[in-house]
Amino acid sequence: MEHWIYSINIAGHSAAFNLDTLITMWLTMLILIILALCTTKNISIIPGKLQVVGESIINYFVDTAKANMSEKEALKHSPIILTLFFFIITANLVGQLPWHLLHLHQGELASPNNDINMTAAMAIVVSVYYMYYGARRKGMKFFFHGFSMEGIILTLVDWLEFFIRPLTLAVRLFANILAGELLIFTFVSLCAYVLPIPFMLFEILVAIVQAMVFTLLSTIYIATAVEETH
Amino acid sequence: MAVEQIAAQGVDLAKLGAGIAIGFGAIGGGLGIGIATKGVVDSIARQPAIKGFAFTTFLLGAALAEATAIYAFVIAFRLAG
């Protein structure tokens, strides 16, 4: 279960990269870029099939954002929300392809999200994003809620949430994808022929649901950070 | 004392711990998803027009409840392997 580690040494400082995660991540990026170029090549009022799919996903998430924030804010924050969704769903589904036909000398190719570094990076980006926009919109009132009893409790809970939110976002996605792969390995070692098939189908469902859960939670965090106080 | 006696007899305590971890973790996950299903069935029975929103919210709630059981699964796998 080790990764294929590639270490470089620049002027005395060393860094190690998990090269198998990077390879599947680059493949995910390539798939997304090709799909985006194909979809937007001939945009027309009467949409082709790919454009219908893209527009329905975008409409769903922008409508969910508009239900939680005001319209102007929803349009402003929808690029990061939609980027997260498209990247995570493509990354999860890339991991369900038959990668075990290729043998690496160390480590194995799988979904890029089975590495805690990948999901932690996305969770930290979402956290810093909502903290920045919350602080910019509300100033000090975002971090401190006043000296009353409920103010102190709200402040303490908020500071705790600063650490808990990226942690649970990262570990939820990582654990779901990794646990799916471990489950498939366990069943393949029991009986490799027909038994893993229902679990592989279940893993495809988990891939789509976890992408949606990450994106909806990020939307709710951004919405609670930038909402207008009453 | 009893733990050292058991470990001296060759029982691998890490694998035992893995079994206990996933056992307790599965209880929480199963109960959580069951309660979420009860909630969604009750709400659709009261107001059938809410079916779309209720299904989406149910999937979100079930995934969040499942996550805790999956934390336990990952710890169990790390202990056992």
The pLDDT-based confidence of A42 (bands split at 50, 70, 90) is confident
Q: Give the number of domains in chain B.
A: 1
Answer whether residue B2 is part of any domain. no
Q: Containing domain of residue B74, as a range?
A: 15-80
Interchain contact, A179 vs B59, CB within 8 Å: no
Angle at B74 between CA B73 and CA B76, to 5 degrees: 65
pLDDT score of A108 more than 90: no
Q: Closest by alpha carbon to A222, among A38, A88, A82?
A: A82
Interchain contact, B77 vs A179, CB within 8 Å: yes
Interchain contact, A175 vs B77, CB within 8 Å: no
Residues 10-69 of chain B with CB under 8 A from chain A are 59-60, 63-64, 66-67
Answer whether residue B4 is part of any domain. no
Give the helix/strand (H/E) hosting A14.
strand A13-18
Asked if the C-beta of A114 comes within 8 angstroms of chain B's C-beta atoms, the answer is no
Q: Which of A44-53, A76-85, A208-217 has the lowest mean pLDDT?
A: A44-53
Interchain contact, B73 vs A179, CB within 8 Å: yes
Provide mean pLDDT across the span A185-212.
Answer: 91
Among A202, A216, A219, A221, most B C-beta atoms within 10 A, so best to mutate, is A216
Among A168, A186, A187, A213, most B C-beta atoms within 10 A, so best to mutate, is A213
Whether the complex's predicted ipTM is more than 0.90 is answered with no
Whole-angstrom distance, CA of residue A27 vs CA of residue B65 = 31
Whole-angstrom distance, CA of residue A86 vs CA of residue A124 = 18
Q: B8-32, pLDDT tens digit by residue?
A: 887 888 899 999 999 999 999 999 9
Answer whether residue B10 is part of any domain. no
The pLDDT-based confidence of A192 (bands split at 50, 70, 90) is confident
Mean pLDDT of chain A: 90
Nearest-CA distance B32 → chain A (Å): 16
Provide mean pLDDT across the span A187-202.
Answer: 91
pLDDT score of A92 more than 90: yes
Here the CATH number for the domain that contains residue B53 is 1.20.20.10
Whole-angstrom distance, CA of residue A8 vs CA of residue A58 = 40
Interchain contact, B66 vs A210, CB within 8 Å: no
CA-only gyration radius of chain A, Å: 21
The residue of chain B nearest to residue A179, with distances taken between CA atoms, is B74
Give the helix/strand (H/E) hosting A108.
none
Q: Give the torsion sign (CA, B70, B76, B79, B81).
A: negative
Check: CB of residue A38 under 8 Å from CB of residue A122: no
pLDDT score of B3 more than 90: no
With a CB cutoff of 8 Å and minimum separation 6, the contacts of A69 are A77, A222, A223, A226, A227
Check: CB of residue A104 under 8 Å from CB of residue A6: no
Write down the pLDDT at residue A13. Answer: 85
pLDDT score of A230 more than 80: no
Asked if the C-beta of B71 comes within 8 angstroms of chain A's C-beta atoms, the answer is yes
Write down the pLDDT at residue A198. Answer: 93
Answer whether residue B6 is part of any domain. no
Phi, psi of A14, rounded to the nearest 5 degrees: -110, 150
Write down the pLDDT at residue A228. Answer: 76
pTM more than 0.90: no
